[in-house]
Amino acid sequence: MSPTLSHLDELEAEAIQILRETAASFERPVLMYSIGKDSTVLLHLALKAFWPGKPPFPLLHIDTTWKFREMIAFRDETARRLGLDLRVHTNQEGLAQGVNPFASGSKVHTDVMKTQALRQALDMWKFDAAIGGARRDEEKSRAKERVFSFRDRHHRWDPKNQRPELWNLFNTRINQGESIRVFPMSNWTELDVWLYIWKHGLPVVPLYLAKPRPVVERGGTLIMVDDHRMPLEPGEKPRMVSVRFRTLGCYPLSGAVESEADTLDKVIEEMLRAKTSERQGRLIDHDQSGSMEEKKREGYF
Amino acid sequence: MSFAELKEGERLREYLERYERTELLRFLTCGSVDDGKSTLIGRLLHDTGRIYEDHLAALERDSKVHGTTGGGLDLALATDGLKAEREQGITIDVAWRYFATNTRSFIIADCPGHEQYTRNMATGASHCQLAISLIDARKGVTTQTRRHAFIASLLGIRHVVAAVNKMDLVGWSEDRFREIEREFFLYCQRLGISEPAAVPISALQGDNVVRRGTNSPWYAGPPVLELLESVPVDRPSPDAPFRMPVQCVIRPDLDFRGFAGQIAGGSVKPGDRVRVLPSGRESRVVRIARAQEDGGDLPYAAAPQSVVLTLADEVDCSRGDVICCVGDDPAVTLGIECDVVWMQEQPLVPGQRYLLRTGTKTTPCTVRRVRWLLDVDTLETSPAESLRMNEIGRVQLECEERVVVDGYRDCHATGALVLVDRLTNATSGAGMVRLPTEIGARRAHWETQAAETLERADAKPSLVTAEERERRWRHAPRTVLIYGPPKSGKTRAALELERQLFDAGAAVVVLDGQALRRGVSKDLGFSDEDRSENLRRAAEIAKLLNDQGFTVILAMVAPDPAARARARALIGEGRWEERGMGVASSPEH
């Protein structure tokens, strides 16, 4: 009686092993909760890894103040429903300086409100391990990322000087002030994530499902007008278009796709027929060639 | 279509259920850029629909700037992730790729073939069940090919595939392919790789990668992808002895105390008797606990599942301990002998202290001795004082606390270890535990009993007595073992001794280790177990010849003092003599 483990079971077992290693090896781990589909799966895996106990670490959300309103509602509801310790951090200096995606541009906005904010939060709470839902198949430079990825005192990543990782014997040793980024879902693909959500019936932010939403077009990309801060051209009026999102981030930087897929099944079906990658709608990835690598070196997730 | 897409008319539910059931195969690809490794991977991803349009567009842009195909689409660039790599046209680090077909999901560990190859390949291989080695059809089997096969075998990979690439550049010559295939298989045999395969391909044009090509009608085997979809996936057997290193104890309240871990070997069910090592306390498994909403407690679990076990008794058990089945125990030991791949600039030298990590246990350890260094190109061992970066050797370690280990061949997850530098925290080396009792070691048949139905050797005594033979040859027969590393002059010494004894009128025979390998021992490789078995066979032949009155001179590498002691015992103390060539006398003598 040995039913072969399916590939999804195997990925789950691997992720749980990594989460438990993190909890056992670090003094102050934290789970980076960014509300999207990957975070949804990551959180579910963490709940499973420590059941019947609770995950022995808080959740951290870096709030740029430009997230979709539905994301924030979903975040707060999730933390309340599961009774988890949710920490939210916003870069107050950046906010005071008026940094925003429109006036400052996506590059500066991302650096100040995401990367710098993350570094502030990790320093403030003295977290020594930050668990994230990033996957190696998302982007070229992520393909060489370790599962336990070392960061120096300045939270910097040195891609050319990474620790070799063999078997599941992870090297979790760090000195004071250094930290580790942990990626339990390194080996998952976008399809695996959706399949896991589907199989376990996990709730996701409604923005992943198509619905008529107010959008404007910016450089060939559909941007949803989520609040009054979106500057409109003189005479411009948002159109109601049935759209959904493949990845979620700051609303001015997240491209919507036109779609009628209003159920999870339909979304997955559309994805299976898709000819473009999920990060295509992410404006911040296109600032320059190799830009993800640059951002990761600086401490971006 | 062979890739994981929604079939026409298939319902999503059916598709997802089908996809969910697919097996996972992890494989590595090794070879340098020139061999077309990146092109092969690019081809696999492209032809299975894994390169999206926006990635393809980026690829087209990059091909114009950095490409080597004259502005045409350079699939190799799909796999070079870091800026420095794209600019220099080299691959620095292991890169991970993902694709799926209708039958399997695949993870590729893409390992660079030049600099740092040992470290990178060992890293990749530690996660994989199959290795693809790229061979340029024009160059044939090279030193590099042999290295790849060797490291794969060292890390316990049984399936090694030679992708003989650029067949278009040798006019799809079957003779050329067969020649390479023959040489490759022969080498795999020496390494004990039981399931080698070879496929003639053109990664550039796509022949025999995803689809069968029309240029090789003489090739009846499967294309690379079909091979990947059909080889049996090596997994830890559920019938193997149960092992679970404890990662942490889950104790949400006073009523629940669960031991969390990933099963390293074998399987478990409620009611099983288990032992907690190293303490040795016994108990019984009560539950394999799982939440109601996930389906409730499990009736059975096997490697590599992650589980939570509760035990019947209040046994002392925490992180670093191993829960095992009763009987078929792992070794509980302070001393470990292992094959080490060294990965840092600073060499490994005896006396140095490191942190040893095995299972979930971390303990300080000291390097006692480097027993030998292994030449990856010739597979020969030589004495060594240290191991430098990218070198492989046999090392003895002494731990400060007892550790629970299996032989690597018996159970990878409890037979593997890493060494961490105590000052820099760098991962310094990776090791595979070698135990005298593990499966591979049993290739040496010192202990194997002959069939009981055989007649006793002295049942029909010879009509010629030993005394008569001695009088005829004017000396008592002996066995002289002349041993030492390759090129230490043992064959010359053996031949000189033979001349001397022959001139004195003795009946004398020389048995050369190399000569044995051409016949009697052609099934053996160069692992220490195989060397030990080669020595055993030589000693058995020598014993037969001694009994007939002949003196035998053995010229062999025979690096292991324990194996030599066994040969001595087999021949008999009074008839045995050994001479070491070019080796410093070691403490065993």
Q: Are B24 and A10 within 8 A, CB to CB? A: yes
The answer for residues whose C-beta is within 8 angstroms of residue B331's C-beta and 6 or more apart is: B404, B405, B406, B435, B437
Residue B510 pLDDT: 95
Q: How far is CA B56 from CA A142, B16, B67, B502, in A?
A: 18, 27, 14, 76
Among candidates B521, B552, B524, which has minimal Cα distance to B537?
A: B521
Q: At what angle do helices A190-200 and B12-21 cross, to 10 degrees?
A: 110
Cis peptide before B304 (omega within 30 of 0): yes
pLDDT in tens, chain A (301 residues): 345 788 999 999 999 999 999 999 999 999 999 999 999 999 999 999 999 999 999 999 999 999 999 999 999 999 999 999 999 999 999 999 999 999 898 899 999 999 999 999 999 999 999 999 999 988 777 888 899 999 999 999 988 788 999 999 999 999 999 999 999 999 999 889 999 999 999 999 999 999 999 999 988 899 999 999 999 988 889 999 999 999 899 999 999 999 999 999 999 888 887 766 665 555 555 544 456 777 777 777 7
pLDDT digits (tens, 9 = 90+) for A91-124: 999 999 999 999 898 899 999 999 999 999 999 9
A163, A187, A290: residue with CB nearest B107: A187
* Residues in chain A within 8 Å Cβ distance of B412: 167
Instruction: Give the side-chain half-sphere CA count within 13 A for B471.
Output: 5
| CA distance to partner chain B, nearest, from residue A27 (Å) | 14
DSSP letter at B344 equals: S
The answer for residues whose C-beta is within 8 angstroms of residue B489's C-beta and 6 or more apart is: B581, B582
Residue B3 pLDDT: 46
Q: Are A20 and B251 within 8 A, CB to CB? A: no
Amino acid identity of residue A63, one-letter, is D
Tokens of residue B295, six digits = 């389906």
d(CA B543, CA B17): 63
Instruction: For residue A299, list its beta bridge partners.
Output: none
Other Cβ atoms within 10 Å of A123 Cβ, number = 13
Q: Are A290 and B83 within 8 A, CB to CB? A: yes
Three-state secondary structure call for residue A120: helix
Q: Are B54 and A280 within 8 A, CB to CB? A: yes
Q: Are A52 and B238 within 8 A, CB to CB? A: no
Q: In which region does residue B266 sit, left (phi positive, over 0), alpha (psi from -120 to 50) or beta (all else)?
A: left
Q: Are A265 and B291 within 8 A, CB to CB? A: no
Tokens of residue B471, six digits = 């009088």
A174, A273, A293: residue with CB nearest B82: A293
Mutate to test the interface with A, among B19, B115, B244, B306 (most CBs of A within 10 A): B306
Q: How many CB contacts within 8 angstroms connect chain A with chain B?
A: 191
> Which ranges of chain B have pLDDT less than 70?
1-9, 32-33, 51-56, 60, 63-92, 113-116, 436-444, 447-459, 525, 527, 583-589
Q: Are A173 and B123 within 8 A, CB to CB? A: no
Instruction: Give the side-chain half-sphere CA count within 13 A for A52.
Output: 19
| CA distance to partner chain A, nearest, from residue B263 (Å) | 9
d(CA B154, CA B409): 10
Among candidates B398, B401, B369, B403, which has minimal Cα distance to B385?
A: B369
Mutate to test the interface with B, among A139, A144, A195 (most CBs of B within 10 A): A144
Among candidates A47, A294, A109, A114, which has minimal Cα distance to B293?
A: A47
Residues B108 and B29: beta-carbon distance below 8 Å: yes
Q: Is A240 on the interface with B (CB under 8 A)?
A: no
Other Cβ atoms within 10 Å of B22 Cβ, number = 19
d(CA A244, CA B514): 70
d(CA A155, CA A148): 14
A48, A52, A175: residue with CB nearest B425: A175
Residues A11 and A44: beta-carbon distance below 8 Å: no
Residues A184 and A147: beta-carbon distance below 8 Å: yes
Residue B360 pLDDT: 97
Residues 206-235 of A with CB under 8 A from B: none
d(CA A33, CA A29): 13
Instruction: Give the side-chain half-sphere CA count within 13 A for A212.
Output: 3
| CA distance to partner chain A, nearest, from residue B85 (Å) | 10
pLDDT digits (tens, 9 = 90+) for B79-128: 555 566 656 555 668 889 998 888 899 999 988 766 567 888 999 999 99
d(CA B118, CA B490): 31
Q: In B313-360, where do the E strands start and end?
A: 322-325, 331-342, 353-358
* Residues in chain A within 8 Å Cβ distance of B291: 48, 51-52
Q: pTM value?
A: 0.83
Q: Are B105 and A7 within 8 A, CB to CB? A: yes
Instruction: For residue B418, list its beta bridge partners.
Output: B357, B430
Residue A18 pLDDT: 98
Q: CA A108 from chain center: how many Å?
A: 19
DSSP letter at A4 equals: P
Three-state secondary structure call for residue A78: helix
Q: Are B430 and A17 within 8 A, CB to CB? A: no
Q: Are A14 and B304 within 8 A, CB to CB? A: yes
A54, A144, A166: residue with CB nearest B95: A144
Instruction: Kindly give the pairing relationship between strand A255-258 and strand A239-244.
Output: antiparallel
Amino acid identity of residue B147, one-letter, is R
Q: Is A176 on the interface with B (CB under 8 A)?
A: no
d(CA B72, CA B63): 7
Residue of chain B with shortest Cα separation from A24? B248
| CA distance to partner chain A, nearest, from residue B462 (Å) | 57
Instruction: For residue B312, list its beta bridge partners.
Output: none
Among candidates B180, B179, B171, B305, which has minimal Cα distance to B243?
A: B305
* Residues in chain A within 8 Å Cβ distance of B300: 1-2
d(CA B524, CA B380): 14
Residues B474 and B506: beta-carbon distance below 8 Å: yes
* Residues in chain A within 8 Å Cβ distance of B355: 173
Among candidates B43, B121, B116, which has minimal Cα distance to B76?
A: B43
- The complex scores an ipTM of 0.91
b/e sequence B8-19, b meaning 16+ C-beta within 10 Å: eeeebeebbeeb
Tokens of residue A210, six digits = 């198509």
Q: Is B23 on the interface with A (CB under 8 A)?
A: yes
Q: Are B53 and A275 within 8 A, CB to CB? A: yes
